[in-house]
Amino acid sequence: MKKKGELVSYRPDIKVIDCTVRDGGLVNNFYFTDKFVKDLYFANLKAGIDYMEFGYKASKEQFDVSKYGKWKFCNDDDIRAIVGDNDTDLKISVMADVGRTDFRNDIDDKANSPIDMIRVATYINTIPSALEIVEYCNKKGYETTVNIMAVSKSNDMDLDDALELIGRSCVDEIYIVDSYGSLYPEQMRRLAEKYLDCAEKYGKKIGVHAHNNQQLAFANTIETLTMGVSYLDSTVCSLGRGAGNCPTELLLGFLKNPKYDITPILGFIENHIVKLKEEGLIWGYDIPYLLTGRLNQHPRDAIQFTAEHRTDYQEFYHYLYDRDI
Amino acid sequence: MKKKGELVSYRPDIKVIDCTVRDGGLVNNFYFTDKFVKDLYFANLKAGIDYMEFGYKASKEQFDVSKYGKWKFCNDDDIRAIVGDNDTDLKISVMADVGRTDFRNDIDDKANSPIDMIRVATYINTIPSALEIVEYCNKKGYETTVNIMAVSKSNDMDLDDALELIGRSCVDEIYIVDSYGSLYPEQMRRLAEKYLDCAEKYGKKIGVHAHNNQQLAFANTIETLTMGVSYLDSTVCSLGRGAGNCPTELLLGFLKNPKYDITPILGFIENHIVKLKEEGLIWGYDIPYLLTGRLNQHPRDAIQFTAEHRTDYQEFYHYLYDRDI
């Protein structure tokens, strides 16, 4: 597949989606201060970011609202308290997980909501449930995406069938999601080719959500972008579950569209991220994440290992390795 | 250019060069304990690493030996105290910087030395001086390389001329060196193509030495490897100047040759690297390095900024940016 665009120019179809609060919320149970979220909103605005994802639309029946910060539920009023009428070019997105959302109760008509886009996260075996949510939200007036998680565990035949099914739906974007941070650029380019074939056939756009287990989140993002992927997820300083995501500051350093400006993000880092680190919040690339990524495993054991401040990496590697045999 | 090899197989021409003591020595003035260096030697041996670089052959007239650890000078006897006769498959390398080495005094016949390979680091405007050292070392019986530093600052015409000149010499390997960590995978692949054309014409091999300013050291290493580059520099946990290098543990996770084993490196990390960090040694990816990398500048200001524990990233960025105009 021919590459799209050159290093010195830019493609106006590129969109940057800031997932700092949503993926970062998985690190601190969504307990961000209003000042953090508001300052991030204004930093994103000034930086030219295209979408800001505020969190999840999680079911209040399944999850105790007293045990999580508000961005796990993303009530329209809570978003409005940050963005007002959001009379800006920055669009607002939230994520709904298949099986964990009461979308019929919790997602209002777009006309009544500050939200612009609903992103539906699904494993490959629950695509029909994902499409049910997509159809519902589409009718309510939202832009929608389907994010197929853990694609590194899927086989090619299932993925081809899944893309066909999603392609024929009313969804706007389809995401490549390297949930375990296990994929190399060569594999990501191959996946991008497959997804882009589907996108061309059905008039969709393709997005990418990378994890940094092998320090490849940024590389995988720009390599798939070069092939035509246009919705790029990132988080400030990688803030996100486990090894975190493609860092916004690296991505903005790469993009050439003059509307993007790295300096508001640098300001946000010095005012907020430095403090989060000082307070002891732990995320980002480290040896345990490399090991789960390399073995194509869920990062949960690495998160546990890191939280316990363990450094017996050899022992941990043998444990992960033996478990897979 | 067609890619060489597949993800599931391996190329026997691949060599891994551990530069932990040499590039890491730039962080701590080469003050490693003998136990550190000896344990690294044995870890490298067990991990199947092909070369271990012990440090520099720096001029004792130019540099005060009392102000640096011994690995800045790499006396044969100091190496021998670690490796004995080195009756193993692990080869020993040292680096000589153009203009900073008394090679005629300090480099003995290979027959009398534990060293196998001399790597000559040069800027593009001192290639003739580099080749003088190469010819000398080649006659003494050593394997040699020319490492063209800061290639991101060179223009194409100079680089073509330089490669011609080096190609016609007796050197064994030529290195792509991304000194400032400023190059993207697309640019690295383009450079690899150019270097590999020269390699094919003159029967040389090509190596890669990456820096991690933009979290691309590993990606750039495996992307150029995929095109045919075969000498791969890495350091344990990225230990190296500024943002550090391609991490050995990531590289060994990628390589499929059964001779490579990540576990001795994990053991070395838990026994030695964890302690270095606890003692306060600072290296590795951070915002200031991203900024110098992005601006294609030497990392010296970022090193200073980091050493001062500053976090006024916006200010720093403006300073770097303005200076370049």
pLDDT in tens, B9-49: 899 999 999 999 999 999 999 999 999 999 999 999 999 99
Question: Is the model's pLDDT at A1 over the cut of 70?
Answer: no
- The answer to whether A45 contacts chain B (CB < 8 Å) is no
Contacting residues for A220 by C-beta, under 8 A, at least 6 apart: A178, A183, A185, A188, A208, A210, A246, B219
Q: What is the pLDDT of residue A324?
A: 72
Mean predicted confidence (pLDDT) in B57-65:
98
Separation in Å, CA B303 to CA A263, B54, B56: 20, 23, 21
- Are B215 and A218 within 8 A, CB to CB? yes
Mean predicted confidence (pLDDT) in B89-109:
98
C-alpha to C-alpha distance for A266 and A273, rounded to whole angstroms: 10
C-alpha to C-alpha distance for A107 and A12, rounded to whole angstroms: 30
Closest CA to A296 of B274, B7, B244, B47: B7
Cβ neighbours of A311 in B, within 8 Å: 269-270, 274
Q: Which chain B residue is nearest to residue A293, measuring alpha carbons? A: B253
Question: Is the model's pLDDT at A6 over the cut of 90?
Answer: no
Total residues belonging to chain B: 325
> For residues A83-113, b (16+ Cβ closer than 10 Å) or e, as one string?
beebeeebbbbbbbbbeebebeebbeebeeb
pTM for the whole structure: 0.97
* CB neighbourhood size of B307 (10 A): 9
C-alpha to C-alpha distance for A182 and A179, rounded to whole angstroms: 8
Closest CA to B244 of B27, B31, B16: B27
Closest CA to A163 of A182, A150, A176, A144: A176
3-state secondary structure of B49: coil
Q: What is the pLDDT of residue B169?
A: 98
Question: Is the model's pLDDT at B2 over the cut of 90?
Answer: no
Question: Is the model's pLDDT at B1 over the cut of 80?
Answer: no
- Are A7 and B185 within 8 A, CB to CB? no
Please state, rounded to an integer, the average pLDDT across all residues of chain A.
97
- Residue B325 pLDDT level (bands cut at 50, 70, 90): low
Mean predicted confidence (pLDDT) in B70-78:
98
Tell me: the pLDDT tens digits for A16-56? 999 999 999 999 999 999 999 999 999 999 999 999 999 99
Q: What is the Rg, in whole angstroms, of the alpha carbon atoms belonging to chain B?
A: 19
Question: Is the model's pLDDT at A8 over the cut of 90?
Answer: no
Q: What is the pLDDT of residue B6?
A: 84
Closest CA to B197 of B241, B166, B238: B166
- Residue A208 pLDDT level (bands cut at 50, 70, 90): very high
C-alpha to C-alpha distance for A84 and A82, rounded to whole angstroms: 6
3-state secondary structure of B25: helix
Closest CA to B191 of B252, B251, B136, B150: B150
B279 phi and psi angles, rounded to 5 deg:
-75, -5
C-alpha to C-alpha distance for A254 and B19, rounded to whole angstroms: 28
Residue in A184, A312, A317 nearest the CB of B254:
A184
| Tally of CA atoms within 13 A in the half-sphere of B220 that contains its CB | 31
Mean predicted confidence (pLDDT) in B307-319:
96
Contacting residues for A303 by C-beta, under 8 A, at least 6 apart: A241, A242
Q: Which chain B residue is nearest to residue A3, measuring alpha carbons? A: B186
Q: What is the pLDDT of residue B265?
A: 98
In contact, B140 and B109? CB cutoff 8 Å: yes
Restricting to B residues 210-229, those with a Cβ less than 8 Å away from any Cβ of A are: 212, 214-220, 222-223, 226
- Residue A160 pLDDT level (bands cut at 50, 70, 90): very high
- Are B250 and A215 within 8 A, CB to CB? yes
- Residue A94 pLDDT level (bands cut at 50, 70, 90): very high
Single-letter amino acid code for the residue at A199: A
Single-letter amino acid code for the residue at B242: G
- Are A214 and B218 within 8 A, CB to CB? yes
Question: Is the model's pLDDT at B86 over the cut of 70?
Answer: yes
Tell me: the pLDDT tens digits for B164-192? 999 999 999 999 999 999 999 999 999 99
Q: The tokens of B205 are what? A: 């091999």
Q: The tokens of B97 are what? A: 């910087």
In contact, B176 and B229? CB cutoff 8 Å: yes
Best of B227, B249, B266, B312 to disrupt the A interface (most A CBs within 10 Å) is: B266
Q: How many angstroms separate the CA of residue B249 from the nearest CA in chain A?
A: 8
Torsional class of A74: left (φ above 0), alpha (ψ -120 to 50), beta (otherwise): left
Strands B15-18 and B231-234: parallel
C-alpha to C-alpha distance for B28 and B21, rounded to whole angstroms: 10
Mean predicted confidence (pLDDT) in A146-161:
95
Residue in B222, B270, B311 nearest the CB of A311:
B270
Q: What is the pLDDT of residue A232?
A: 98
How far, rounded to the nearest angstrom, does the alpha carbon of residue B276 sit from its chain's CA centroid? 20
Residue for token pair 């991030």: A40
Q: The tokens of B48 are what? A: 């199947």
Q: What is the pLDDT of residue B236?
A: 98
Q: What is the pLDDT of residue A9?
A: 87
- The answer to whether B178 contacts chain A (CB < 8 Å) is no
In contact, A249 and A220? CB cutoff 8 Å: no
C-alpha to C-alpha distance for B11 and A125, rounded to whole angstroms: 37
ipTM above 0.85 for this complex: yes
In contact, B21 and B53? CB cutoff 8 Å: yes
Q: What is the pLDDT of residue A325?
A: 67
C-alpha to C-alpha distance for A156 and A238, rounded to whole angstroms: 29
C-alpha to C-alpha distance for A173 and A204, rounded to whole angstroms: 6
Cβ neighbours of B287 in A, within 8 Å: 237, 249, 266, 269
Q: The tokens of A118 are what? A: 């609903």
Q: What is the pLDDT of residue B28?
A: 97
In contact, A183 and A220? CB cutoff 8 Å: yes
Q: What is the pLDDT of residue A193?
A: 97
Tell me: the pLDDT tens digits for A142-152? 999 999 999 99
Please state, rounded to an integer, the average pLDDT across all residues of chain B.
97
Single-letter amino acid code for the residue at A11: R
Best of A8, A180, A311, A322 to disrupt the B interface (most B CBs within 10 Å) is: A311
Mean predicted confidence (pLDDT) in A83-107:
98
Question: Is the model's pLDDT at B62 over the cut of 90?
Answer: yes
Question: Is the model's pLDDT at A132 over the cut of 80?
Answer: yes
Question: Is the model's pLDDT at A166 over the cut of 70?
Answer: yes
Beta strands in B8-62 (DSSP E): 15-18, 51-56
Q: Could you tell me what percentage of chain A is helix, strand and coil, using 3-state DSSP and rounding each to the nearest 5?
A: 50, 15, 35
Q: The tokens of B177 are what? A: 């060196």
- Are B267 and A187 within 8 A, CB to CB? no
C-alpha to C-alpha distance for B99 and B57, rounded to whole angstroms: 11
- Residue A3 pLDDT level (bands cut at 50, 70, 90): confident
Burial label for B203, CB within 10 Å (0-12, 13-18, 19+), is: exposed
Q: How many angstroms separate the CA of residue B202 from the nearest CA in chain A?
A: 29
Tell me: the pLDDT tens digits for A260-271? 999 999 999 999
Torsional class of B113: left (φ above 0), alpha (ψ -120 to 50), beta (otherwise): beta
- Are B314 and A263 within 8 A, CB to CB? yes
Contacting residues for A159 by C-beta, under 8 A, at least 6 apart: A124, A148, A151, A194
A312 phi and psi angles, rounded to 5 deg:
-85, 75
- The alpha carbon torsion through A215, A218, A223, A227 (nearest 10 deg) reads 140
3-state secondary structure of A16: strand
Residue for token pair 């390389």: B145
Which DSSP helix (H) or strand (E) runs through B134? helix B127-140
B111 phi and psi angles, rounded to 5 deg:
-60, -30
Q: The tokens of A178 are what? A: 């390297």
Crossing angle for the helix pair B185-202 and B156-167, nearest 10 degrees? 30
